[in-house]
Amino acid sequence: MNQAPLSPSAAGRHRAGRLSPGRIIVWGAFALALVAAPWVFTSSLALTMLSQIGYLIIICLSYNILLGQGGMLSFGHAVYTGLGSFIAIHAMNLAGQGTLPIPLVLIPVVGGLAGLFFAALLGFVTTRKSGTTFAMITLGIGELVASMALMFPGFFGGEGGITTDRVYGKPFFGISFGPALQVYYLIAAYCFICTALMFAFTGTPLGRMLNAVRDNPERVEFIGYNTQRVRYFAFIIAGFFAGVGGGLAAINFEIVTAADSVSVMRSGGYLLFTFLGGATFFFGPIIGAVLLVFASVLLSELSKAWLLYLGLVFLFMVMYAPGGIASLIMMNVRLARFGKLRGLLPSYLALTATALLAVLGFAAMVEMTYHLQLNAALGPQLPFMGTTLDARAPASWIGAAVLFAVGVGLFEWRRRDFRRRWEAIQEAIEHRMQRGEGA
pLDDT, tens only, 202-244? 999 999 999 999 999 899 999 888 999 999 999 999 999 999 9
pLDDT, tens only, 52-107? 999 999 999 999 999 999 999 999 999 999 999 999 999 999 998 988 889 999 99
pLDDT, tens only, 360-403? 999 999 999 998 888 877 788 888 888 888 889 999 999 999 99
Name the pLDDT band for 198 (thresholds 50, 70, 90).
Answer: very high
User: DSSP per residue over 242-291, as a string?
Assistant: HHHHHHHHHHHHSEE-HHHHS-HHHHHHHHHHHHHH-TTSTTHHHHHHHH
Which long-range contacts (C-beta less than 8 Å, at least 24 apart) are formed by 1-6? none
Residue 300 is predicted with a pLDDT of 82
Name the pLDDT band for 19 (thresholds 50, 70, 90).
Answer: low
Sign, CA dihedral 138-144-150-151, equals negative
Name the pLDDT band for 438 (thresholds 50, 70, 90).
Answer: low
Residue 196 is predicted with a pLDDT of 96
Q: Give CA–CA dist 331/391, Å, rounded.
A: 42
Phi and psi dihedrals of 159, rounded to 5?
-70, -25
> Lowest-confidence range among 27-36, 117-126, 293-302, 324-333?
293-302
Mean pLDDT of 250-274: 92
The residue extents of the domains of the chain are: 24-326, 339-435
Residue 6 is predicted with a pLDDT of 36
The conformation of residue 390, written as its DSSP 8-state character, comes to E
Residue 329 is predicted with a pLDDT of 92
Angle 15-18-24 from CA coordinates, rounded to 5°: 115
Residue 20 is predicted with a pLDDT of 79
Collapsing DSSP to helix, strand or coil, 381 comes out as strand
Residue 170 is predicted with a pLDDT of 83
Q: Give CA–CA dist 76/211, Å, rounded.
A: 21
Residue 172 is predicted with a pLDDT of 80
Q: Of 344, 233, 241, 325, which Cα lies nearest the Cα of 287?
A: 325
Residue 439 has pLDDT above 80, yes or no: no
Q: Give CA–CA dist 233/235, Å, rounded.
A: 5
Q: Of 203, 204, 206, which Cα lies nearest the Cα of 226?
A: 206
Residue 323 has pLDDT above 70, yes or no: yes
Please report, rounded to a whole number, the percentage of residues in the chain having pLDDT higher than 70.
95
On whether the CB atoms of residues 79 and 145 are closer than 8 A, the answer is yes
Residue 98 is predicted with a pLDDT of 85
Collapsing DSSP to helix, strand or coil, 383 comes out as strand
Residue 135 is predicted with a pLDDT of 94
Residue 18 is predicted with a pLDDT of 60
Mean pLDDT of 330-350: 90
pTM: 0.90
Looking at domain 24-326, which CATH architecture does it have? Orthogonal Bundle (1.10)
